[in-house]
């Protein structure tokens, strides 16, 4: 089988993140076993009660080696572009493969499987690890289960294998990735009739903080190493009562101007 054959098989599984990926994991594990890998499964149940699974495969022993990582889930395909074939009916047209996940990232997984198949087991001089995780598109949940619980993952870390993540990068080598830091800031105001001038507008109180956040964003975009420093400076200068809390996207909510000052933003 070549890379296209492997990819076609993978794309035919409708493994969008909200449904179970167990079937595609069974398929991946079978394929790895055919290629003489030992395999490990790391199963879990997601927050919606859906069974999810990760596969870690290893072929060969010894120090070093190569560790390849892919995810088996894909983003939804509710508004598919073509009436001629569905998102999970892999179709080649004009030399390109169409189907959800062909690029991100079942194509890449298909390529590493074909590469592993092309190297005879006896000629392999260092271990090769192949991992397929769940729920990458919705928070890397499968990868964190693997990092926490997988024996083979622990081995590849201890043996100092080189890691490759097969995400699409237009064939450029990308050696670093932006991270994220989520928190919730609350600005508290005080409601009062505007005639008294005793009100505190929570939206206005939030503005210096937002300006700092904009500066942090700008610094982070320009120079990664200064991000932490700028972030801490911004947190230290939040006016009023603000509390970092849970992960979330930046959303500011607050009432408009009226005779009463906005209380919370």
Catalytic-role residue among 9, 29, 46, 73: 73
CB of 74 to Zn ion, least distance (A): 8
Q: Is 135:141 a contact under the CB 8 Å cutoff?
A: yes
CB of 209 to Zn ion, least distance (A): 33
Stretch that binds Zn ion, among 100-108, 113-121, 175-183, 190-198 (CB under 5 A): 100-108
Residue of the chain from 104, 119, 164, 264 that contacts Zn ion (CB under 5 A): 104
> Is the four-CA dihedral 86, 90, 91, 94 of positive or negative sign?
positive
State which residue, 36 or 104, has the beta carbon closest to Zn ion: 104
CB of 171 to Zn ion, least distance (A): 15
Those residues with Cβ within 8 angstroms of residue 147's Cβ, 6 or more apart along the chain or in another chain: 153
Helices 22-34 and 107-118: crossing angle, nearest 10°? 20
State the residue number with the nearest CB to Zn ion: 104
Residue 23 is a binding residue for Zn ion (CB under 5 A): no
Active-site residue flag, 73: yes
For the stretch 2-5, contacts whose Cβ atoms lie closer than 8 Å and that sit 24 or more positions apart, written own/partner, are: 2/114, 3/107, 3/110, 3/111, 3/113, 3/114, 3/115, 4/92, 4/97, 4/110, 5/110, 5/114
* CA geometry: angle 141, 143, 148, nearest 5 deg: 95
Bond preceding residue 153 cis, omega within 30 of 0:
no
Q: What is the per-residue DSSP string for 66-85?
A: EEEEEE--B---TT-S-SSS
Residue of the chain from 74, 105, 113, 146 that contacts Zn ion (CB under 5 A): 105
Show the site string, 157-186: x = touches Zn ion by CB under 5 A, - = not: ----------x-------------------
CB of 75 to Zn ion, least distance (A): 9
Catalytic-role residue among 136, 212, 262, 263: 136
> Is the four-CA dihedral 8, 115, 133, 169 of positive or negative sign?
negative
Show the site string, 111-130: x = touches Zn ion by CB under 5 A, - = not: --------------------
Active-site residue flag, 29: no
CB of 144 to Zn ion, least distance (A): 16
| Residues of this chain, 185-244, that bind Zn ion according to CB under 5 A | none
Instruction: Provide the binding-site residues for Zn ion, judged by CB under 5 A.
Output: 104-105, 167
Catalytic residues: 73, 136
């Amino acid at each position: 089988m070549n890379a296209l054959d492997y990819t076609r098989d993978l794309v035919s599984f409708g493994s969008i993140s909200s449904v179970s990926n167990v079937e595609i994991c069974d398929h991946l594990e079978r394929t790895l076993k055919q290629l003489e890998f030992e395999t490990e499964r790391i199963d879990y149940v997601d927050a919606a009660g859906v069974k999810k699974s990760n596969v870690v495969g290893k072929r060969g022993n010894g120090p070093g080696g190569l560790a390849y990582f892919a995810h088996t889930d894909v983003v939804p395909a509710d508004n598919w572009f073509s009436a001629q074939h569905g998102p999970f009916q892999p179709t080649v047209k004009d030399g390109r493969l169409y189907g959800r996940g062909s690029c991100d990232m079942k194509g890449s997984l298909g390529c590493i499987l074909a590469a592993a198949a092309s190297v005879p087991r006896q000629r392999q001089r260092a271990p090769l690890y192949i991992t397929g995780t769940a729920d990458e598109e919705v928070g890397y949940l499968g990868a964190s289960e693997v990092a926490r619980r997988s024996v083979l993952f622990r081995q590849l870390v201890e043996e100092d294998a080189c890691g490759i993540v097969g995400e699409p990068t237009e064939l450029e080598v990308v050696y670093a990735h932006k991270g994220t830091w989520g928190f919730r800031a609350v600005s508290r105001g005080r409601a009062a009739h505007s005639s008294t001038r005793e009100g505190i507008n929570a939206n206005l109180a939030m503005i210096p903080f937002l300006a700092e956040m904009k500066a942090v964003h700008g610094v982070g975009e320009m120079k990664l190493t200064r991000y932490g420093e700028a972030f801490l400076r911004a947190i230290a200068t939040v006016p009023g009562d603000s509390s970092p809390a849970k992960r979330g996207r930046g959303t500011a909510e607050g009432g408009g101007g009226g005779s009463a000052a906005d209380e919370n933003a």
